[in-house]
Structure 1
Amino acid sequence: MSSNQDIAKQVVEAIGGPENVQSVAHCATRLRIMVHDKDKINEKKVEEIDKVKGAFFNSGQYQIIFGTGTVNRIYEEVNNLGVSGTTKSEMKQEAAKQGTAFQRAIRTFGDVFVPIIPVLVATGLFMGLRGLLTQEQVLSLFGLTPDSISDNFLLFTEVLTDTAFVFLPALVAWSTFRVFGGTPIIGFVLGLMLVSPALPNAWAVAEGNADPLYFLGFIPVIGYQGSVLPAFFAGLIGAKVERFFRKRVPEALDLIVTPFIVLLIMITLSLFVLGPILHLVENGIFDGVIAVLELPFGLAGLIIGFFNQIIVITGVHHIFNFLEIQLLENLGFNPFNPIVTAAIAAQGGAALAVAVKTKSKKLKALAYPSSLSAFLGITEPAIFGVNLRYGKPFIMGLIGGAIGGFLADILRLQATGMAITVIPGTLLYLNEQIFLYLIVNIVGIAVAFVLTYLFGYKDE
């Protein structure tokens, strides 16, 4: 097998040499390259390189799939060859011009939420762990009952499970300021203002234990614990307001005057205009999602399970982050996760069938790790490297996802968190649901595997 250095050299050569590279960056699984002339890329040669699990154009970038961990090392070797093109920020600006307005908007939404996801994942794991430790069956193993758990211990677990959602607007406003060119700490403070204890708590208002403050007799003002859209738009507009004043305030006064003006304008706008309006929008979106998830006879699972990975191909699946946050915030659980998990697992099952059936050593070397990657929750290698390349395996994976999603919906599975699926996702079901969760995954994988093995792939 070639070394990472050799692979980097082969990649640069196959995409038309260093002179054809405009910029290089990477994400969790893919090397992202912007080129001056896409016709100079030898795509067949790229796909024959060791460790390459697929390649495709998306949003103006040529994206080569290497997989988690490997892509970091290849990126370093490419940089060591002196191939860097423009900076990452310039690449983002250039890429931002590519694609439809909808694709650009969703990509920006993703840029805001991706840095926040790790803490939400951790929170989901804490919720799952608390669910495991407070189960009557688990406690009985140690001769304990639910009444044996001290109030102090429960308080400690609340700190672990509630903090990220209580201060979610601060995280969202911080990240939005960062993405749109503002000062992140100003965004963070603005977000904290939205959940100030001086305001009526959003959850207390929703439960009827507190009343909103009414300004001018008709504008309801509350805290925005757990809300996303008010913080997102406050950050978006706030960053632009900050940049406007930074160009006009004298440098000697900038440190004092600009943050003062930005926070004053934005908290006023957020509490009296953006907040009340966007809170209604959030509730409308949430009600719409719930309406789909409550379709009878498992239809929600069937529909979402089938179409989820098609949406992943378009690259606009980051919008689901917002939906899952809303579900967790409003329901206290996430019924969307187990359906999506089935869709992801099924694509892994289809790739695994190709790996088992093919006689090609190179395809086996690609399909086996791609299926493992899907079982760990990342489907891009399986989709772009194997299933979509041969067509039918992808369709069989969609069918497996629909059947698994249908089962997850019928069984009413409820995740305690978000953003992790399949094998890592078991941590979100460490309660009485764990066996049902495993069954859903096994069914999704088995259906996709059998259909692909029998009808979806031939060695031709």
Structure 2
Amino acid sequence: MSDDKNRATAAAILPLVGGAANVTSVAHCMTRLRLGLKDRSLVRDEALKALPAVLGVVEDDTYQIVLGPGVVARVTPEFTALADAERAAHPAPEPAPATPPPGAAAAPTAGELADRGAALKARQKARNATPVKLFLRRIANIFVPLIPALIGCGIIAGLNGLLTNFGVLPAIVPALAAIAAGFLSLIAVFVGHNTAKEFGGTPILGGAVAAIIVYAGVAQVTAFGQHLSPGQGGVLGALGAALLAVRIEKWCRRHVPEALDVLVTPTVTVLVAGLVTLFGLMFLAGEVSTAIGSCANWLLAHGGAAAGFLLGGLFLPLVMLGLHQALIPIHTTLIEQQGYTVLLPVLAMAGAGQVGAALAVYARLPRNRSIRTTIKSALPAGFLGVGEPLIYGVSLPLGRPFVTACVGGAFGGGFVGLFNQLGTAAGATAIGPSGWALFPLLKGNHPLGATLLVYALGLITGYVTGFLATYFFGFAKPALRDLNTADASAPAPTRQKHQPTTA
């Protein structure tokens, strides 16, 4: 039955994005189906957002359809299979016309919010097309495919910790420890592989160079007056080594005769990049990694409340600017060093502030049925850490509620940071989930119960503060009056439940 539902979702999406002939690439991350499209104008946005399974759409370097955790991993293969079958049956299909379905007119207020959200997203996309932000996006593309394994291994590590603490099933504890730690012990190889793939090199050569970092034999190598340690430099070293390998490989492709390319290019790439990695990158990346871990720990240990307040309050704007992608290697480095990242639970409070703000908008606009319908449909995803429908559909287009949502995130982050400063660190063993979905991945320097309690109280602080700030300061009186009467008499059509989340 579940497969039928996922297949039906894929079948409903495919014609609305212009059919298989309009799809050039298919991929997915934690929550989104990411499509490369030939002609953006063939997408029927309103009909797509009206599908029950679709939580929203976001347009970035690819067209991204938000389906939610778990669902997207099941819909993607069904979508790919249907697209392949359609291409096989119709080698040269006529593209679907880009006309909206009958009766697709939006209710006034939600429609205006959708337009505002679309305009804001378009302007933000243009601002994000800078070299630095495009580079950060490519860095994110390296790490995003690793997130499912990080989550799975993180949850297994948490389960293993519970069994160890309670002395239950001691025979299985070593097995679970091996399963949980295996991926992390080799994560540098996967980072090297993905880096070479993202930057136009041969993926296996990037992985081969990065594998040097985790090889036990590096302990026999001396660099900068000391023996290297297996894993020294971690993911940052692997990233640098693979980038260097790509540069060397491309140089070889240009200068090595074709007859010798198959022998010379891979040999020179691995040899030169490997030597530089051993006698330079591993040591330097190790120093940087150590500094990152020390800095994060010092920041929250000495200025936890203030640091948490700033981080929680600024995270939503960082997401808007695309700068949050720079944090992915930092999270991964902290997980490598300590087993968890202390930054993610603090940053997750931004989502709590967003949920609280949405609840306040719902309470303040009792007559605006279209906005209330949108909020009701988007809130479950918001509680699980999927914030795009609420951000681009409600708070950001309204203006002030976005600011008050940030206030909620700031107070939630400050709460978690304060307890870190007092000695109770709350961390996450993997990146990706937030909100309630982060609970299975929590870990800290105290028993799990204390960590869960700190995070839960932080969420409550974010919810309550975001609600109160938005309820009392989220609307100017004229705007509140207009929004509360604009479509009071209009029925809230079911197709509109995801309307405001726009690309």
Task: Quickly name the TM-score band, shorter chain normalised.
Answer: 0.7 to 0.9
Q: Show the counterpart of 2:436.
A: 423
Equivalent position amino acid for 1:50 in 2 = A
Q: Contact 2:192 / 2:241 at 8 angstroms: preserved in 1?
A: yes
For 1:455 and 1:97, locate their aligned partners in 2 and report how far apart those are by CA, in whole Å.
29
How big is each residue's C-alpha offset from its partner over 1:21-51, in whole Å with a ceiling of 9 and x where there is no partner? 99887754377788999xx9999x9699635
Deviations 1:281-307 (A, max 9, x none): 233333333332233361121111111
Displacement of 1:390 after TM fit?
0.7
| Structure 1 equivalent of residue 236 of structure 2 | 229
Contact 2:233 2:286 in 1 (8 A): no
* Other structure's SS at 1:178 match: helix
* Residues 271-282 of structure 1: pairs in structure 2 closer than 5 A: 271-282=278-289
Equivalent residues in 2 for 1:241-280, closer than 5 Å: 241-251=248-258, 253-280=260-287
Taking only aligned residues, the RMSD between alpha carbons, in angstroms, comes to 4.0
- Report the CA distance shift for 1:190/1:26 in structure 2 as closer, same or farther (over 3 A): closer
Alpha-carbon distance change, 314 to 22 in structure 1, aligned in 2, over 3 angstroms: farther
Aligned counterparts of 1:188 and 1:167: Cα–Cα separation in 2: 10
SS at match of 1:245: helix
Q: How far does the alpha carbon of each residue in 1:49-102 deviate from its partner, in whole angstroms, 9 at most, with x for none?
A: 63587777756x7x6765435896898899978559xxxxxxxxxx99971121
- Give, as a single letter, the amino acid of the residue that structure 2 aligns with 1:383: I
Other-structure match for 2:148: 118
* Structure-2 residue corresponding to 1:191: 210
Stretches of structure 1 lacking an aligned partner (at least 5 in a row): 13-20, 85-94, 140-145, 201-211
In structure 1, C-alpha distance between the alignment counterparts of 2:190 and 2:43, rounded to whole Å? 43
Aligned to 1:203: none
Which residue does the alignment assign to 1:434? 452
Q: CA deviation at 1:371?
A: 2.3
Of all paired residues, the percent bearing the same amino acid is 25
- 2:6 is matched with none
Q: Is the 8 A contact 1:219 1:276 kept in 2?
A: no
The counterpart of 2:354, out of the listed 321, 329, 347, is 347
Matches within 5 A, 1:207-218: 213-215=221-223, 218=225
CA distance in 1, matches of 2:462, 2:278: 46
Residue of structure 2 aligned with 1:29, choices 29, 32, 36: 32
Change (3 A) 1:229 1:183: same
Equivalent residue of 2:276, what SS? helix
Quote the residue 1:380 is aligned against: 388
How much does 1:105 deviate? Answer: 1.5
1:129 correspondence with 2:177: no
Equivalent position SS for 1:415: strand
Residue 373 of structure 2 corresponds to residue 365 of structure 1: yes
CA deviation string 1:319-346 (max 9, x = no partner): 2221112222223332212212221122
**Distance change in 2, residues 1:31/1:199 (3 Å):** closer
Amino acid at match of 2:246: A
Note if 1:160 corresponds to 2:179. yes
The Cα of 1:122 is off from its aligned counterpart by: 1.6
Q: Secondary structure at the match of 1:411?
A: helix
SS class of match (2:323) = coil
Q: CA deviation at 1:404?
A: 1.1
2:154/2:180 contact within 8 Å kept: yes
In 2: Cα distance, 1:437 partner to 1:149 partner: 28
Q: Residues of 2 paired with 1:30 and 1:248: CA distance? A: 40
The answer to whether structure 1 residue 444 and structure 2 residue 455 are counterparts is no
> Which residue is 2:339 aligned to?
332
Please tell me the residue identity of whatever aligns with 2:32: T
Distance change (3 Å), C-alpha of 1:58 and 1:184: closer
Q: 1:229 to 1:339 in 2, by over 3 A?
A: same
Question: Is 2:53 the partner of 1:50?
Answer: no
Moved more, 350-359 or 229-238: 350-359
Deviation at 1:241, TM superposition (A): 1.8
CA–CA distance in structure 2, aligned partners of residues 328 and 6 of structure 1: 39
Tell me if structure 2 keeps the 8 A contact 1:177–1:183.
yes
1:250 shift after superposition: 4.7
Worse-matched range after superposition: 64-73 or 399-408: 64-73
Q: Secondary structure at the match of 1:182?
A: coil
Q: Give the match for residue 172 of structure 1.
A: 191
SS of the residue corresponding to residue 216 of structure 2 reads coil
- Contact 1:292–1:300 under 8 Å retained in 2: yes
Q: 1:186 to 1:56 in 2, by over 3 A?
A: closer
Q: CA offsets per residue over residues 365-388 of structure 1, 9 Å max, x none?
A: 322232222221221221111111
Q: Verify: 1:303 aligned to 2:310, yes or no.
A: yes
Are the structure 2 counterparts of residues 7 and 183 from structure 1 closer, same or farther at C-alpha, using a change threshold of 3 Å?
A: closer
Deviation readout 1:408-428 (Å, 9 max, x if unpaired): 122234224122221111102
Residue 471 of structure 2: aligned partner: 453
Higher relative contact order (CA 8 A, sep 6+): 2
Residues 233 and 284 in structure 2, CA contact (< 8 A), matched pair in contact too: no
CA contact (8 A) 1:47 1:53 kept: no
- Describe the shift of the 1:156–1:54 C-alpha distance in structure 2 as closer, same or farther (beyond 3 A): closer
Bigger mean CA deviation after superposition, 241-250 or 304-313: 241-250
For the structure 1 residues 66 and 362, does the alpha-carbon distance in structure 2 shift closer, same or farther, using more than 3 Å as the test? farther
Query: Does the 8 A contact of 2:49 with 2:57 survive in 1?
Result: no
Where in structure 2 are there 5+ consecutive unaligned residues?
1-8, 87-92, 97-124, 485-503
2: distance between equivalents of 1:186 and 1:175?
10
Match of 2:136 in 1: 106
